[in-house]
């Protein structure tokens, strides 16, 4: 049995076991991840409260930072962190480890950075904005983001299907690590926004900043691991396609169409939120 | 935002059922709500503050059907709530004192005089900004005797069956 067959069998067994455990034992890995997030969320607020009550304590801040990294790792496993977008982007032949590193960095900083900026704007510029209006603002970010991703998807598909020079040039510009990274992390992280706002409210804004700093590292880690796995699978996929005697040009075309379709689906999903 | 859900079948009469639902908000959200709505900073929600929180926050959930999906005898129920109450509960003492926001409301259903009610009540926020989890088993009012009741933790879904006294 070759490596590919073993890999497929392992994935199938894992999926089947997941279904059996979910159905018979009312356990979902998703629920487990949510519970863990909730536990760490509680630990973070407890640490913030402790610093508020007892004053600066280096050991507690360091612990908070470590828990925040862990929170970021688990949090990024959940939806809306650009994993699919970044992985699909990586499917192109020329994209490799450097792309994975740069897009993960940009996406995680954009996701948290936009939340921090928004939180400070809410506190000092849009004063008096209510809880629901804040959620709505994040939802609008999601809609704009969804629209942009879907447009990008359409460009990829049209480019693959036509020989138009302008379209090819536009598509080439769109295949840009910075832009894809920003799109992947464009929607502000609601959890980080809450951490910043609550820490400002408790007059310990720096503690909130330390915490979201940890979350950035955690999210970066998860995105990077998923992208590295994508690169491994991509090599396997390209080798398989070559076996079917598909020319490099054709493979690129199919990948572009697949990429475009994924981007459009993701865009629609984002738009819905 | 994490919310624990606790439903209780409060009463059944003339084909109508009332379910009392309590939402317990997590500490982060509770602190955030206090920060936003406790305008006079007295550490509690006064009447006008409670009103503005309901108006700004909970009334807006109507367009999401309050994240509730409710079926009685396979008939999807229109989400109709009343008697909403906002409470601030305190847990712990001294430095460990924590204030948590809870929201209580009544959900109405129509079972059209069936002899047995088979109900399905689930809570889910498809916008993924909040996570609703079961806070425990469904409870029943004194005069209500359930035939069966269970909840599926992973889906925050309550499935119950009640015999109706004619």
Chain A hits for B37, Cβ within 8 Å: 130-131
User: Taking CB atoms and an 8 Å limit, are A190 and B32 in contact across chains?
Assistant: no
- B32/A198 touch (CB, cutoff 8 Å), yes or no: yes
The more confident residue out of A6 and B161 is B161
Q: A207 pLDDT band (50/70/90 cuts)?
A: very high
Question: With an 8 Å Cβ cutoff, is B128 touching chain A?
Answer: yes
pLDDT of res. B144:
83
Of residues A24 and A13, which shows the higher confidence score? A13
Closest CA to A158 of A37, A256, A252: A256
B95 at A interface, C-beta within 8 A: yes
Instruction: Tokens for B25, please give them.
Output: 């908000």
Contact call for B27 and A45, based on CB within 8 A: yes
- Among B31, B52, B57, whose Cβ lies nearest the Cβ of A198? B31
Please say whether the dihedral angle defined by the alpha carbons of residues A258, A261, A265 and A266, taken in this order, is positive or negative: positive
Specify the 3-state DSSP secondary structure of B87. Answer: strand
Closest listed residue to residue B6, CA positions, set B22, B17, B20: B22
Which chain A residues have a beta carbon less than 8 Å from that of B52? 130
| Ordered DSSP codes for A171-225 | HHHH--HHHHHHHHT-S--HHHHHHHHHHHHTT-HHHHHHHHHHHHHHHHHHHHH
Q: Is A31–B153 a contact, with Cβ atoms under 8 angstroms apart?
A: yes
In A, which residues are within 8 Å of B31 by CB distance? 45, 198, 201-202
Confidence of residue B163 (pLDDT cuts 50, 70, 90): confident
Question: Region A202-226: what's the mean pLDDT?
Answer: 92
Give the separation between CA B77 and CA A165, rounded to whole angstroms. 56
* Rg of chain A over all Cα atoms, to the nearest angstrom: 21
Instruction: Name, in order, each residue with C-beta under 8 angstroms of A201's C-beta and a sequence gap of 6 or more.
Output: B31, B32, B35
A32 touches chain B (CB under 8 A): no
Token pair recorded at residue B6: 């606790």
B33–chain A Cβ distance below 8 A for any pair: yes
* Pairs of CB atoms within 8 A across A/B: 71
Give percent above pLDDT 70 in chain A.
85
CA distance A58 to A68: 15
In a mutagenesis test of the A interface, which of B25, B28, B96 is the best target, namely the one with the most A β-carbons within 10 Å? B28
Contact B154 A28 (CB under 8 A): yes
Ramachandran angles phi, psi of B90, nearest 5°: -110, 135
Structure tokens at B1: 């935002």
Contact A41 B28 (CB under 8 A): yes
Band (B12; pLDDT cuts 50, 70, 90): confident
Chain B interface disruption, residue of A132, A139, A196, A201, most B CBs within 10 A: A132
**Three-class SS of residue A234?**
helix
* CB environment B62-101: b (16+ within 10 A), e (fewer): eeeebbbbbebeeeebebebeeeebebeeeeeeeeebbbb
Residues B105 and B19: beta-carbon distance below 8 Å: no
Query: Both tokens of residue B51?
Result: 């009103």
A81 in Cβ contact with A103 (< 8 Å): no
3-state secondary structure of B119: strand
Distance from CA of B115 to the nearest CA of A (A): 30
Write phi, then psi, for B159 (nearest 5 degrees).
Answer: -120, 125
Would the pTM count as exceeding 0.90?
Answer: no
Q: Which residues of A touch B128 (CB under 8 A)?
A: 78-80, 273
Is residue A225 very low, low, confident or very high in pLDDT (cuts 50, 70, 90)? very high
> How far is Cα of residue A160 from the mean position of the Cα atoms in its chain?
26
> Does residue A209 or residue A151 have the better pLDDT?
A209
Closest CA–CA distance from residue A70 to any residue of chain B (Å): 18
Share of chain B above pLDDT 70, in %: 97
The reported pLDDT for the residue numbered A3 is 67
Tracing tokens 């998807």 back to the chain, one arrives at: A153
- Report yes or no for ipTM above 0.85: no
Q: What is the predicted pLDDT for the residue at B134? A: 86
Average pLDDT (B29-34) is 84
Is residue B32 less than 8 Å (CB to CB) from chain A? yes
């Amino acid at each position: 049995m070759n490596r590919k067959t073993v890999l497929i069998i392992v994935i199938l067994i894992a999926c089947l076991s997941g279904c059996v455990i979910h159905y018979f034992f009312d356990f979902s890995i998703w629920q487990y991840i949510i519970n863990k997030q909730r536990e760490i969320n509680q630990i973070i607020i407890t640490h913030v409260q402790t610093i508020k009550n007892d004053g600066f304590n280096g050991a507690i801040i360091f612990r908070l930072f470590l828990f925040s990294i862990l929170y970021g790792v688990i949090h990024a496993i959940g939806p809306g962190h650009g994993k699919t977008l970044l992985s699909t982007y990586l499917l192109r032949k020329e994209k490799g480890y450097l792309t994975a590193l740069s897009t993960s960095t940009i996406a995680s900083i954009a996701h948290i950075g936009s939340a921090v900026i928004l939180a400070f704007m809410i506190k000092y510029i849009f004063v008096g904005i209510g809880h629901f209006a804040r959620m709505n603002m994040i939802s609008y970010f999601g809609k704009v983001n969804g629209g942009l991703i879907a447009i990008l998807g359409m460009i990829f598909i049209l480019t693959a299907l036509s020989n138009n020079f302008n379209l090819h040039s536009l598509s080439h510009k769109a295949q840009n690590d910075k832009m894809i990274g920003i799109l992947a992390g464009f929607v502000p992280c609601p959890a980080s926004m809450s951490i910043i706002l609550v820490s400002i409210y408790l007059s310990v804004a720096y503690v909130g900043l330390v915490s979201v700093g940890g979350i950035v590292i955690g999210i970066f880690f998860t995105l990077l691991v998923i992208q590295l796995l994508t690169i491994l699978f991509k090599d396997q996929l390209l080798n398989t396609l070559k076996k079917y005697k598909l020319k490099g040009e054709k493979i690129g075309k199919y990948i572009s169409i697949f990429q475009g379709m994924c981007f459009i689906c993701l865009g629609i999903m984002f738009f819905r939120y | 935002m994490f919310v624990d859900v606790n439903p209780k079948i409060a009463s059944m009469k003339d084909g109508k059922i009332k379910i009392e639902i309590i939402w317990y908000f997590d500490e982060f959200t509770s602190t955030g709500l206090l920060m936003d709505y406790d305008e006079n900073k007295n550490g509690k929600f006064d009447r006008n503050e409670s009103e503005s929180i309901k108006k700004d926050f909970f009334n807006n959930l109507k367009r999401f059907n309050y994240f509730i999906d409710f079926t009685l005898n396979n008939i999807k129920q229109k989400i109709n709530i009343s008697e909403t109450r906002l409470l601030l509960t305190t847990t712990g003492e001294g430095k460990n004192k924590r204030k948590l926001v809870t929201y209580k409301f009544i959900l109405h259903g129509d079972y059209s005089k069936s002899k047995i009610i088979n109900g399905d009540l689930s809570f889910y926020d498809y916008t993924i900004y909040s996570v609703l989890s079961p806070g425990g088993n469904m409870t029943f009012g004194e005069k209500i005797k359930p035939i069966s009741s269970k909840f599926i933790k992973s889906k925050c879904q309550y499935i119950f069956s009640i015999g109706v006294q004619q």
